[in-house]
Amino acid sequence: MTVLGSFITIILALVLLWLAYWCQFKGGRKSCGDCMGNRERKRLVMEELPDDMVYLKAKMTALIEHTGLPVDEEDEEGNAEAVKADEEDEEVEA
């Protein structure tokens, strides 16, 4: 057990020395800081997404009402393009 403990201690010391070297001379601090900043930005976006969606839907509704744009009807699967194509076919036949 003493030999195993010695090997583990040596390996741990080497890993810590390599980590200190990487942080000091190889840009490790900047790399870690950038990574943490990206993760925080993604976390905030996912946290605020439901509120943003409600706001955007309200603004789109107001814009549609203001401009008088027609609203695309969607079928059960949410496929607006298929509904548009069906409507165009009906117009051509008429």
Output the CA torsion 63→65→67→72 (10° steps): 90
What letters, b where the CB count within 10 A reaches 16 and e where it falls short, cover 80-94? eeeeeeeeeeeeeee
Query: What pLDDT, on the 0 to 100 scale, is given for residue 17?
Result: 97
What's the number of domains the chain is made of? 1
- Kindly tell me if the per-residue pLDDT of 6 is higher than 80: yes
**Rounded alpha-carbon distances, angstroms, from residue 9 to 3, 31, 72:** 10, 27, 67
Query: What pLDDT, on the 0 to 100 scale, is given for residue 74?
Result: 64
> pLDDT digits over 28-82, tens only?
999 999 999 999 999 999 999 999 999 999 999 999 988 888 877 665 555 555 5
| Higher-confidence position of 92 and 47 | 47
Query: What pLDDT, on the 0 to 100 scale, is given for residue 36?
Result: 96
* 8 Å CB contact between 22 and 29: no
Determine the structural domain holding residue 40 and report its residue range: 2-93
> CA Rg, the chain, in Å?
29
> Which residues touch 75 (CB under 8 Å, ≥6 apart)?
82, 83
> pLDDT digits over 18-30, tens only?
999 999 999 999 9
Residue 94 pLDDT level (bands cut at 50, 70, 90) = low
